[in-house]
Amino acid sequence: MQSLSTPSPIKSLIWQRSRVTRVSPNKLVLQCIYNSDSVSFKNGVGPNRADWQSSCAILASKVVAQQQSIDKSASGGDADGVADHVAAVNGHKTSVELNLVPIEKATSKLTSRQNPLSITDFCPPPMHGSQLRVAYQGVPGAYSEAAAGKAYPNCEATPCDQFEVAFQAVELWIADRAVLPVENSLGGSIHRNYDLLLRHRLHIVGEVQLPVHHCLLALPGVRKEYIKRVISHPQALAQCELTLTKLGLQVAREAVDDTAGAAEYIAANNLRDTAAIASARAAELYGMQILADGIQDDSSNVTRFVMLARDPIIPRTDRPFKTSIVFAHDKGTSVLFKVLSAFAFRNISLTKIESRPHRNRPIRLVDDANVGTAKHFEYMFYVDFEASMAEVRAQNALAEVQEFTSFLRVLGSYPMDMTPWCPSRGDDDDDEKNLF
C-alpha cells in the first residue's frame, strides 16, 4: 500500500484519545490527545513519549486534587490552594497548563450540538407519510402533482421543470420519490420517460392511475370568440382535438411543457387572446376562468403514472403485482415471438408491450452477396406483465427470456393500482352540456 503524506510543513499525525468519566455529577472530564510526531510544547512538556506519559500523570493528579477541593467545599472546609498542591511529577513543574472541564459544562456543550448522521438517516422512508419528498414534472396545479398526492398522501410535492430533472432529484437525494407519467388511454405512451427509465438506475415501486379532466381556461372577462390560440401540453392538445373543433375554435394550437404551466404563462403575461387546457385546480391557483369544462374527447381519459425510488421494494404474493422489464437482442426482432411464448406458456398476462429505437445501435446491416445489403432497425422492447417476481412462474419466465436476449433488465416489480375507476365526470352527454 502506498503511503500518503500531506504537504510540508504539516506532517501526518496519529491521534489517540482517552476519556475519564464517572456518573457522579461533580466529576470532571479528562481528555488526552497524543501526537506521535516530535512537537515541543511551550508549557514545558517534552517531545518524547516519556514526557507525554508524565503530563498524563499530572492530569490524573490534578483531577484528584480538584476532586478533593470539591469534597472539602461541600463539607465546609477551605479549598483555597488545594488544586495547586501538585509540585512535580517525574521532574516536571506545575506550570503545565492543563485545563479541566467540569462534566456538567461538557455535557451541556455536547447536547447543544446537532447529533451526527447515522445509518438510519439514509434509510428509505416509509412508503406513505408526510415526510416524503416527491418530485414531479410541471408546476403546481399539474396533473402530475395530483398523481403525486394520490400516490403519497400528505407528501411534500417538489415541482421540476423537466422529466430528467425529476429523475436526477431522486438520484441526488433531493427527493425521495418521483411520480412520472408513462402512458395515457387516449394519447398513448410518453416515450421520453421510457427512454429515461433505461438511462437512469431508478426502480419502479408502484403505479397510480389518474382520471384526467381537462378544462379550457382564459383570463377573467375573456370570451371564446376572442381566443386566437390555445396552448397546453402536446398530450392535452391531442386529447381535446375533436372537442376544440366542436367549440368552433379554429385557432392556432401551441405545445408547451405542461398544462398548468400554460395557465401560469397566460396569467403572468396577461395574454387575453390565449387560452390554456389545464385542470380546474390550475384555474384556481392562477386566477383563470373556466370557459369550457370537461373538454377531453373521451370521458374515459386516464393517465398511468409510475412511482420511482432509489431502491426496489420486496415483491410479494399476497396482492396483485405487476413487473416491468426491458430487453433487446443482437439478431433484431426475430426473437420477439420466443420471448412472448415464455409468458404465454406459463399463463402470464401481458398488459403492455412497447418498442423504442436502440440508441446505441439504431440500424443493423445485413450484407448478402446475392441480394445486396439490407438495413434493419434495432429496438428495445418494454414489457409489463401481471406477476410478481416472488412467483416461481415469473422467475422461470425471465430465466427463459434471458436465454434468447442479449440484454435484460427488470425495471421493477410493484403492486398494481386496484382502486375503482370511474369516468372523470359523467358520461359523454354530460360533457356536451358542459361545453357551453
Q: Which amino acids are annotated catalytic?
A: 303, 305
Cβ–Cβ under 8 Å, residues 275 and 250: no
Q: Which three cell numbers stand for residue 275?
A: 387560452
Cβ–Cβ under 8 Å, residues 179 and 147: yes
E strand intervals along 66-202? 88-89, 92-93, 101-102, 133-137, 156-160, 177-184, 188-189
Helices marked H in 76-162? 103-112, 143-151
Lookup result for grid cell 397546453:
232
- CA 230/CA 433 separation, integer angstroms: 21
Residue type, 413: S
Lookup result for grid cell 375573456:
222
- 177-184/302-309 β-pairing: antiparallel
105-112's contacts with Cβ under 8 Å and 24+ in sequence apart are 106/29
Q: How many C-beta atoms surround the C-beta of residue 112 within 10 A?
A: 7
Q: In what order do the strands lie in the sheet with 321-328?
A: 350-357, 379-385, 321-328, 407-415
Cβ–Cβ under 8 Å, residues 251 and 230: yes
Q: Which three cell numbers stand for residue 350?
A: 401481458
